[in-house]
Amino acid sequence: MKRPITTLERFWRKVDKSGEHWLWTARIDDWGYGRIEINRVNECAHRIAWLLTNGEIPKGMCVCHKCDITSCVRPEHLFLGTDQDNTDDKWRKGRAHTKLTDKEVKEIIVKLRIGYTQSTIAEIYGVAQQTVSEINTGRAWNGVIT
């Protein structure tokens, strides 16, 4: 009788380790992050790579990419940090550019208040839903007053 495949085996079978970056070869989300379902929960592949290699991720911590390749799950290319560490890292590396003006951010805030969905707003302004979420939570553009 053949033994069942473990989560560890299933995970690493979906990784191309042929280059410097170990790239996730299964489902990729709209932001380029690998995704895997484990115990009926949709998880980020890089977070699972960290868990499988280093153990638990402390509450409130992010698993960040040193290499900035969102589909990379190579443990040596990952590090733990807070949301602020992750944002600071983006700015330091020049990845936090935006095409939204203060006026557009104010419009987005109004649309959020009157019930537009984040997805609809993202489509209207040509940005990722995550960008709208960061405006909504105050993690981005929190200095804009409406």
* Res 94: pLDDT: 62
Q: Which CATH number fits domain 7-92: 3.60.21, 3.90.75, 1.10.3470, 3.40.50?
A: 3.90.75
* Domain residue limits, the chain: 7-92, 102-137
- Taking only the tens of pLDDT, the chain with its 146 residues reads 787 778 888 999 999 999 999 999 999 887 778 999 988 999 999 999 999 999 999 999 999 999 888 899 999 999 999 988 887 887 777 666 557 788 888 999 999 999 999 888 888 877 778 888 888 887 766 666 54
Q: Are 82 and 90 in contact (CB under 8 A)?
A: no
* Res 33: pLDDT: 87
Cα torsion for 98, 104, 110, 116, to the nearest 10°? Answer: -70
